[in-house]
Amino acid sequence: MRKIGIQGIKGSYHDQVAKEYFGDSVEINEFLSFDELADSVVIGSSDFGIMAIENSIAGSIIPNYALIDNLNLNIVGEYFVNINHQLMVLPGVDFNDIQTVSSHPMALLQCKKFFKDFPKISLIEAKDTAEEAKRISENKIKNVGAIASVEASKLYELNIIHKNIQTIEKNETRFVIVSKQRMSSSVDFDKASLKFSLSHKTGSLASVLTILSDYNLNLTKIQSLPIIEFPWKYSFFIDTTFNDMNDFNKAIELIGHKSESLKLLGIYKNRMK
């Protein structure tokens, strides 16, 4: 049975992705931080890890890019989930009883607009959406609400008092599947994640983008991260889709010549709808 590491606990969105991507015949390893999750993949206690990497409202989860890179993890797949956040409380608790709402920082950010109308409610960051629902349930906390999934409300027997409170209805999060080992090449693979660094010469980035265009590679994501050893110098993380593996290989070879460093983070199947 494959062991899948997730950030969060049963009822979290990572738990949902694990079951939808791998099926029910897996063993779930729960971690309350992405660092612990990534380490479990490195040491082999988890065969695969699931990491949220970006959200259509809140943007990129930048530390996770660094984790994947620094620990030399391989991206072997991706999965998209439409995130619907529910505000939940203990049975019998009224909305006016709530003094604080606690959830994962990304969940709070995605629901920020809803709480602008209720300035008396304090928003408290926590490690996980489902973990907060569980804590409220087990400790019978009456003045705190949680933001979590419908599944979490069922598991921990909480009442949903406001449904779908995310700022935008279509609130998608992209998750990546990471492994210590790189997957064998497949004809189905049509997406890749790369990291490269460039000199400060004028047009350096433009030349890389031109190569992508010339070889029919579509840039779907670009994210810059500072190189901490060299102030004001940046690495670029990109995702690109392609139709022909030969075109991809030729483009990568040319980008390698244009860049100071180039690292392939993974080749996998595009799941963007």
Q: What is the rounded average pLDDT of the residues 108-121?
A: 94
Same domain, 79 and 113: no
Same domain, 66 and 175: yes
pLDDT of residue 229: 86
pLDDT of residue 237: 96
**H-helix or E-strand spanning residue 67:** helix 62-70
Q: What is the rounded average pLDDT of the residues 42-66?
A: 94
Cβ distance 53 to 176 under 8 Å? yes
pLDDT of residue 1: 86
pLDDT of residue 169: 86
Same domain, 134 and 175: no
39: in domain: yes
Count of domains for the chain: 3
Of the candidates 135, 145, 140, the residue with the CA atom closest to the CA atom of residue 100: 145
Task: Assess whether pLDDT exceeds 90 at residue 197.
Answer: yes
185: in domain: no
Percentage of the chain lying above the pLDDT 70 cut? 99
Same domain, 91 and 148: yes
pLDDT of residue 187: 72
Task: Assess whether pLDDT exceeds 90 at residue 236.
Answer: yes
Amino acid at 168: I
How far is 256 from 77, CA to CA, in rounded Å? 23
CATH of the domain at 228: 3.30.70.260
Task: Assess whether pLDDT exceeds 80 at residue 82.
Answer: yes
pLDDT of residue 35: 97
CATH of the domain at 59: 3.40.190.10
Same domain, 66 and 201: no
Same domain, 76 and 99: no
How far is 194 from 97, CA to CA, in rounded Å? 49
Task: Assess whether pLDDT exceeds 90 at residue 199.
Answer: no
Residue 223 binned pLDDT confidence (cut-offs 50, 70, 90): very high
Task: Assess whether pLDDT exceeds 90 at residue 89.
Answer: yes
Same domain, 79 and 6: yes
Q: Is 8 left (phi over 0), alpha (psi -120 to 50) or beta?
A: left
Of the candidates 11, 43, 15, the residue with the CA atom closest to the CA atom of residue 29: 15
Of 28-42, 44-58, 172-186, 246-260, the poorest mean pLDDT is in: 172-186
Same domain, 126 and 141: yes
Query: Taking the C-alpha atoms of 96, 100, 102 and 107 in order, what is their torsion angle to the nearest 10 degrees?
Result: 70
Same domain, 90 and 79: no
- DSSP β-bridge partners for residue 94: none
186: in domain: no
pLDDT of residue 182: 86
28: in domain: yes
Residue 67 binned pLDDT confidence (cut-offs 50, 70, 90): very high
Strands (E), 115-181: 122-125, 144-148, 159-162, 172-179
260: in domain: yes
pLDDT tens by residue, 15-35: 999 999 999 899 999 998 999
Of the candidates 217, 225, 239, 216, the residue with the CA atom closest to the CA atom of residue 197: 225
135: in domain: yes
Q: What is the rounded average pLDDT of the residues 174-191?
A: 88
Residue 248 binned pLDDT confidence (cut-offs 50, 70, 90): very high
Same domain, 79 and 90: no
241: in domain: yes
184: in domain: no
Same domain, 120 and 220: no
H helical segments located in 91-159:
105-110, 112-115, 129-139, 150-155
Domain boundary among 118, 144, 179: 179
Same domain, 44 and 175: yes
Q: Which residue has the higher pLDDT, 162 or 185?
A: 162
Residue 165 binned pLDDT confidence (cut-offs 50, 70, 90): very high
Domain, as residue range, for 150: 86-162
Q: What is the rounded average pLDDT of the residues 228-233?
A: 85
